[in-house]
A and B are shown apart, each in its own frame.
Chain A
Amino acid sequence: MVTHDTPTDPLLTITDLEAGYGKKPILTGASYDVRPGECLTLLGANGSGKSTSLNVICGFVKVTAGSIRYRGTEIAGLAPHRIFRHGIAQVSQARDLFPDLSVEDNLRLGAMRRGGDSAAQTLAGIYERFPRLAERRKQATRTLSGGEQQMVAIGRALMSRPGLLLLDEPSGGLSPQFCEEVAQIIDSLKAEGMTLLMVEQNLNLAFRAADRFIVLRDGKVVDGGDVRAMAGDHDAIVRNIYL
């Protein structure tokens, strides 16, 4: 069933979500929502269900109970390619690029199933955002540095003009210098009105980029709130995550 959303409606609503790998449950009744134009960060210790949340939303992990509604449409249980066509794109932790294809091919592929009508314009925008990729457009992506590969992964996801962008550990394995670049990329995406759902272990980046946070523990939401309201009290959040 599709309902028409109002400006105040959440873009994504997750209700009592349960999912896991085989018989091992990871999410055990998580509920949260993502509002249009915000950056929500998922925090939690290892195994708390952060990355699983993103993979469930994208259809990579099977939902055993609960609901995921995107723009009012139930998407739980759909195959990844169908969810992508609804406008949800993910930049995964492993990046999952096509190593032997050129930077340009990787980017163009991002728009082949969604956003193809404006692909040329979007591609130009991505080269403007990441001039280094424009310089390396003919290079195979396996020859790029980790930071440049992350740019390709983000650029590829943006090529589909997503309504919701999921970022799984965008600073993972990158130098401090590039972490700052990632923060700037997220800032610019937010400024353009992009809705972001992010998993990030680097708390400095997480708190800098996010508008809101939620804390997952044992697959459930145990805390959450406005990042600005917690300014100066990040220690309390950290205690909640790990203790």
Chain B
Amino acid sequence: MIKVIKAGLYTSIQDLGRSPLQPIGVPMGGAMDRESAQNANALLENEPNAAVLEITMTGPVLTFTENAWVAFSGAIFPIYINQNIASTNTPIWVKAGQELRFGTLEKGVRLYMAIKGGFLNEPLLGSRSMQAHLSPIIKLEKGMELQHRSGEKDQAIILEKKSNTPLGAKKILAFQGPEFKYLNPEQQEGLNQQTFKVSNLNNRMAYQLLPSLSAFEKNQITGPVLPGTVQITPSGNIMVLMREAQTTGGYPRILQLTQESINALAQLKTGDSFRIKILPLN
């Protein structure tokens, strides 16, 4: 098992979520940057859906009580196992009794730590992802014990493989949403031309962007939404729904981010700037 000595800012267990339950209002959830989570799993020849740790901004301090293969992918932090520095995007053999800690975040936001065989917390509705309004625990707490299979030195691993998610992306790609056509030409132009920033309102549910567009009133009845759906509020605020977003929404859906761009946005933090490029989808 792994003992949580310090939890870090927001560390949670995530897999690829609960997409079949969207029709009954359960958010998809799962790793914010799916590509990096899957890459960490791939390094250990885990299933893509194996549960990993999602480490956000500040790393936890963890003690291993058993040997284990682990792999890191995503944001860049200095990673220390006891006093030795460890690399991302390559499997690492950790011995029982060793301590894992993290230095100051250098680039990106979210780092994924896979463990051979995945974390073995109790699945709920087909997923081990910790999720608000659903899981009894939504993030790691000091003193928790994380279950996993104990590792064997000769288990299958892959030597090196990088995540395709860019850190500090300057371009976010999106398709036109169903209500894009109702924006006025100035607002449509604004989406294409403006440089946007991630506001301080950003979490696993949504990212609010700055600046806002001009006010936009449209009578709209509630409809389905997905992670990556970009909504505009009546006062012109732009909200990008992220992995843990609700499944329906009442605001106009002006854009839909590409899968890769949801991952890329998950690696941007408050104040990071980027432009939006609108692509055709036919």
Partners in one complex: no
A residues within 8 Å of B by Cβ?
A: none
B residues within 8 Å of A by Cβ?
A: none
